[in-house]
Structure 1
Amino acid sequence: MSRALLQALRIGNSAQSPQWRFSRGFASVASNLNHNYKVVVVGGGSAGLAVAGQLARDPLFAGKKDLLVIDPSAEHYYQPLWTFVGAGLKTFSESKKPMRDLIPSAADWLQEKVVKIDPTRNVVISNNGKEIKYDYLVVASGIQINYDKIEGLKESLGKDGVTSNYSAESVEKTFEFIKAFKGGNAVFTQPSTPVKCAGAPQKIAYLAEEYFRNNGIRDKATVRFLSGMGKIFAVDKYAKELTEICQKRDIKVNLLSELIAIRPERKEAVFKALGPNGGAESVIPYDLLHVTPPMGAPTYIRESGLGNADGWVDVSKETTQHNKYSNVFALGDSSSLPTSKTAAAAAAQSAVTSANLLATIKGQKGDLAYTGYTSCPLVTGKGKLILAEFSGYTLQPQETFPYNQGKESAFSYYLTSDVIPSIYWNAMVKGRWTGPGPYRRLINPLNSN
């Protein structure tokens, strides 16, 4: 194993060294809150915290309390772990930490929800009516999950076999329902909209199918994966392998099939065919139904005039700077950056955003470019994982390791289940991990895969 790889893996165990520590952030108290900040970061998710951590270390913000993070959540979730939680391989408690422990000490924290941004006045407005002025704005508000787009979903979720790993309230129900399943139709869905972690809708199907096999009921189960997308995965290399896995394990795949309604009283799922000849509806009975809801940009982004035609914050795909308002940047799931919406993408984007923002503040040209890097670890069973790494701009693999990551691997599984979560908590959300790019040049210099 190379020194570069060992250094990369060691990050997960570096939490105790002084350079990895952050002091606690400060929960918002109206009397202590300024109303005018150099930089306001909207969103305390993966992307927002990574940028806040990087900005906080710049001398511009040393001891000045000129940086504000706005997020209403008391808990921060590492949501990529929820696939493992839903399959009974990790506990829910392993996926969360208090938000106040993750806010950098150089920043203030307003624990409220943003409901409006007025970029013409440089003002952010919270749900409690607070108006916060900014010189520069970073929008990292994540993606909006639209449960109401599927008729019957909101009232069905978490009951009678209907679940979703995308909800903190129902993710533990997933494994409860998998364990209780005794046979029949196990149905897993993916919408046609962008979603966070585009591989997650099918990962839980693989893990459930394996559980059924290991517990002697596979012959009583029909496992179905229905996706509104036209391909099982965007990148051909990984799509080919996933298709073969589905065929070998008799997982029935239907593409361009969108879930539009649930009839809980009859335990029926209603799908609509998409594509050029779409429109026809079909009804599939279910005994277990895992739903990935439709998702989209937060409503207030479109209403604030920051969004493109689809509602995402309209930024340059290279610099992450807004195409109209030069003092606004965006990254992560709420941005228009045309790549898969993952924590890995947010890590790479954070380096570009913070560098170009700091350059802009200092009157320089920010020209660091994001090239679309993202990663989607596709767990296909306990101890088996396809580690997809690629550019969402070119759909070409960008693999870090010199083995074929397009094949199931125990090492890739261990990396995803144990090492990467440590990197996330101890480095990424503190702005000290911006992806494996620098290591890739050393570990896999020939880009052999």
Structure 2
Amino acid sequence: MRPISTLQRAVDGSHQVLIVGGGAAGIAAASSLMARDAQLDVAIIDPAPQHYYQPGWTLVGAGVFSARSTERSMASLIPKGVKWIQAAVSTFEPEANALVLDNGQALAYDQLIVCPGLKLDWDAIDGLNATLGSNGVTSNYRYDLAPYTWQLVQQLKQGQALFTQPPMPIKCAGAPQKAMYLSCDHWLRNGHLPRINTRFMNAGAVLFGVPDYVPALMEYVHKYAIDLDFGHNLVAVDGPAKRATFVRTLADGRQEHLERRFDLLHVVPPQTAPDFIRSSPLADAAGWVDVDPYSLRHTRFANIHGLGDATNTSNAKTAAAARKQAPVVANNVLVALKRLQRLAQYDGYGSCPLTVERGKIVLAEFTYGGKLAPSFAPWLLDGRKATRRAWWLKERILPSLYWRGMLKGHEWLARPTLNTDTPPA
């Protein structure tokens, strides 16, 4: 049955600000808004009962964190004064300043913030869903599977360990190799590494997208005797037979299929914007929310803003990026509501703490164009080297910064940069 357009009927409710998505970006944006103006009428739309600190799953897969420590109830995190609408969005109707929920209700808004995260497309790899969590096939990209990663790492004493990375973009582009380094470190410490052949099957052409950090990473590639296979994209898995099929792109552009046997297979699935975003008027040609990379306002609808993993900005899709984006969006929503004067600007900041061994991290921090953007002086913490201070930051500081800072509207090291010019009236 063809849905009734909100242009043709009354809406069922309205809010000054509607936020689509209750992940890191959505809750941080809501908290930053309320910290600026506690009288705002704000609602978050998200069907999920639980919220997860996803950056912690790398350490769950290495036996450092428990999975339970990365989980909180959504209800406990919704900011005071913000309404939680536990539903999913079906369609957007930006011309009517409205959207439709999956229960058929239509909601109107003055300002809309879109941050639903992205879709992990497990089904894009033939046979993967049937074997995830068994037959040595795992992924730190799922809460329920990260503990299985650690189980497999401890059990493996010899054999073939494959770690895959799909084509970009993906959330936390360093996560595929973080799992690999921490696994190799465990095998090295326990004397098993000489009998384990580790391969990094990367669909891309480089180890890491910001060249300044590659030398430090290559030291660990050599230390762990990892084989780097670029241009290899995982397309099928036969769990019982322990065979993985890859499409390899040759120098002349031709493609060939090849199989590799495995004892442990850590998979990172292809990732896209959610289906309800890709089919909406908010999407660009590639399916991502189409925003200005600096103001994070939609390029066609002035009262719509986007942040987090579902936008088409070229920054790394990380929680650190959302932490910087949320205050920018909060500021610019209030500018649109005529409650502030000066627009804020996002510089593309993203961060990736690359866990190269238990106790050391290469802390990659950069803005648009791969420009280095260290938060600390080099004498205190040089991100281009593996350091214990960066591990301490990842293990001890960042979880608290997430739960008690970012999600509570405290913008430590994230205050937005304001433009010198005021926007036109």
2:109 is the counterpart of 1:134? yes
Note if 1:76 corresponds to 2:51: yes
Q: 1:338 aligns with which of 302, 305, 314?
A: 314
1:287 aligns with 2:263: yes
Structure 1 residue 436: Cα displacement: 5.2
Residue deviations 1:118-172 (CA, integer Å, cap 9, x gap): 2122222222222211111000100110001100111110011000111122111
- 1:202 alignment partner, one of 165, 174, 177: 177
Task: Name the SS for the 2:377 alignment partner.
Answer: coil
SS of the residue corresponding to residue 255 of structure 2 reads coil
Moved more, 356-365 or 218-227: 356-365
Within 2, Cα distance between the matches of 1:300 and 1:234? Answer: 29
2:350 aligned residue? 374
Name the residue aligned to 1:405.
383
RMSD in angstroms over aligned alpha carbons? 1.7
Q: Could you list the runs of 5+ residues in structure 2 that have no partner in the other structure? A: 1-10, 417-425
SS of structure 2 residue aligned to 1:280: strand
Matched residues in 1 for 2:238 and 2:97: separation? 46
Report the Cα distance in structure 1 between the residues aligned to 2:357 and 2:133, rounded to whole angstroms. 24
Cα gap change, 1:434/1:274 in structure 2, threshold over 3 Å: closer, same or farther?
farther
Q: Percent identity?
A: 37
**Any idea what the Cα deviations from partners look like across 1:18-63, whole Å, max 9, x if unmatched?**
xxxxxxxxxxxxxxx971101100011111111100112333x52x
Q: How far has the Cα of 1:210 moved from its partner?
A: 1.1
1:357-377 Cα distance to aligned partner (Å, 9 max, x none): 110111766532111111000
Structure 1's consecutive aligned runs of 4 or more residues displaced over 3 angstroms after TM superposition are: 363-366, 434-438
2:302 aligned with 1:326, yes or no? yes
Q: Secondary structure at the match of 1:166?
A: coil
Residue 246 of structure 1 corresponds to which residue in structure 2? 221
Structure 1's unaligned 5+ residue stretches are 1-32, 439-449
Aligned partner letter, 2:298: H
Aligned letter for 1:41?
Answer: I
Work out whether residues 162 and 291 of structure 1, in 8 Å CA contact, stay in contact via their aligned partners in 2: yes
Q: Which amino acid in 2 is paired with 1:260?
A: V
- Cα distance, 1:437–1:400 mapped onto 2, change above 3 Å: farther
Please list the CA deviations of residues 312-335 of structure 1 after superposition, one character each: whole Å capped at 9, or x if unmatched. Answer: 100000100000010100001011
CA distance in 2, matches of 1:405, 1:240: 12
Q: C-alpha offsets along residues 245-277 of structure 1, whole Å, 9 cap, x if unaligned?
A: 202220111111110110123110111113653
The separation in 2 between residues aligned to 1:310 and 1:239, in whole angstroms, is 29
1:216-295 alignment, distance < 5 Å? 216-274=191-249, 276-295=252-271
Cα-to-partner distance string for 1:182-208 (whole Å, 9 max, x where unaligned):
211010000013111110000010011
Deviations 1:85-133 (A, max 9, x none): 0111110111111111111111100111222222122222222222211
Partner secondary structure for residue 313 of structure 2: coil
**Contact between 2:327 and 2:414, CA under 8 Å: does it hold in 1?**
no
Counterpart mapping for 1:137-176 below 5 A: 137-176=112-151
Per-residue CA distance 1:348-406 (angstroms, 9 max, x = gap): 11111111111011176653211111100001111010000011x22011111222211
Match of 2:410 among 412, 423, 432: 432
Alignment equivalent of 1:299, drawn from 275, 286, 289: 275
Find the aligned partners of 2:415 and 2:203 in 1 and give their Cα distance.
32
Conserved? CA contact 2:205–2:231, under 8 Å = yes
Q: 2:327 maps to what in 1? A: 351
Aligned match of 2:31:
53
> Which amino acid letter does the alignment assign opposite residue 159 of structure 2?
G
Work out the CA distance in 2 between the residues paired with 1:400 and 1:67. Answer: 32
**Shift, 1:336, TM fit:** 1.1
In the alignment, which residue of structure 2 is the partner of 1:420?
Answer: 398
Paired with 1:79 and 1:223, the residues of 2 have a C-alpha distance of: 25
Cα separation, 1, equivalents of 2:193 and 2:294: 47
Question: CA, structure 1 residues 364+426, in 2 after alignment: closer, same or farther (shift >3 Å)?
Answer: closer
- Give the TM-score normalised by the residue count of structure 1: 0.87
Distance across 2 between alignment mates of 1:278 and 1:185: 27
**Contact 1:189–1:201 (CA under 8 A) maintained in structure 2:** yes
Matched, 1:182 2:160: no
Deviations 1:270-305 (A, max 9, x none): 111136534111111000000000001111112111
Give secondary structure in 1 for the equivalent of 2:241: coil
- Deviation of 1:240 after TM superposition, in Å, equals 2.2
Residue 362 of structure 2 aligns to a residue whose secondary structure is: strand
Indicate conservation of the 8 Å contact 2:135/2:240, yes or no.
Answer: no
